[in-house]
Amino acid sequence: MVLSVGEIAWFQQLGTAVSSVREKVWGGGSDVAPRCQGIHPTCADGSPPRFWDAPQDLREWRTFELADAMEQGLSRELTTHFVEPVRIGDEQRFLVRRSENRREYLLTTEQGDPLLLAQASVDGGKFDLFVAGSNDPPIALGPAFDLQANATRDEWTLRSMRCEQCEYRATRASMPRELARVSHYREEIGSSKAWCMDVTIPEVRKDGSCASWCPVCCGTGAADTGNKSTDLVMRRPTWNSRAKALTLDFFGRCSQASAKNIQLKVSGEAVGKDVSKVACLFGKTDTNTFTLDVRRPLGTVQAFAVALTTAHWC
């Protein structure tokens, strides 16, 4: 499946549609937060309105307008099912399809149903992740997650644009929630150098929920949450002197050689021949197609983000 410019434009069109609804409610003008001009009693001083405010004389109209937006598929639902870790003993298998220009990556089920769409920035240092529906083209409203690199692209941070725990509590002051941190580095193995990575994610509790790295709920990150985190490391390939290449058993799930082929395991665990100990397996199967197998303690979006960070490896 090759993503077109039209499909990305469709996502942008939806965001524009919702912006137009907000502008109609608050009044004309190009400002992101136009002023109420005293129409609403809580804004008599001319201060910028809040998202949940509306002029009294337009309140009924606003309700119908927003209901119409929801009927068009513009409402945003919680993304918990992408964040939750895979259940104990289960394995989830996905496909990652890359566009010809390598700017878009679509995560699908093995049957081809779209789940998440990642769009890279011009410089490749950031990805916006959209929740894709079953529509043709797949649709979503704004990015649900983002993946941001530092200047040298050896440190990546995955965030959910909204904290699900804040949403469940109806907290108004909701901020982005960190879901993973990925570190890249090169390591000499035999007569070659290989890309390696370490991944840190929020700790998975006994009840299956994740520790929250949210500035509103529990601080700003791992250091502020009592180090409630889990570390994953990349399984190292071995140098085959006969083939003069790095090799690693991918348990029959990878059919093409690529620097992007990786496996992650929980730090300190031995995998050996037991594929169930591999938390993430990402391997190339065709020119622009990769397989992505995910197990606990990772969630779907965390594994997808890990795969995306290898985009510049070669």
Instruction: Give the chain's length.
Output: 314
pLDDT band at 22 (very low <50, low <70, confident <90, very high): very low
Domain 80-312 carries which CATH code? 3.20.90.10
Q: What percent of the chain has pLDDT over 70?
A: 66
pLDDT band at 227 (very low <50, low <70, confident <90, very high): low
Domain boundaries, the chain: 5-71, 80-312
- 27, 50, 192, 314 from 59: Cα distances, Å: 13, 14, 66, 55
Cβ proximity of 59 and 24 under 8 Å: no
pLDDT tens-digit map of 31-65: 444 434 444 444 555 666 554 554 444 444 445 55
Compute how many other C-beta atoms are within 10 angstroms of the C-beta atom of residue 141. Answer: 19
pLDDT band at 216 (very low <50, low <70, confident <90, very high): confident
CA-CA distance, 127 to 8, in Å (whole number)? Answer: 13
Q: Is 282 helix (H, G, I), strand (E, B) or coil?
A: strand
CA-CA distance, 69 to 17, in Å (whole number)? Answer: 8
Paired tokens of 292:
């992505």
pLDDT tens-digit map of 132-178: 865 554 445 578 999 999 999 999 999 998 776 676 665 556 678 89
Among 62-76, 166-180, 264-278, the least confident range? 62-76
pLDDT tens-digit map of 101-121: 999 999 999 999 999 999 999
Which of 253, 259, 261 is CA-nearest to residue 293?
Answer: 253
CA-CA distance, 129 to 159, in Å (whole number)? Answer: 10
The predicted pLDDT at position 77 comes to 52
The predicted pLDDT at position 60 comes to 47
pTM of the model: 0.74
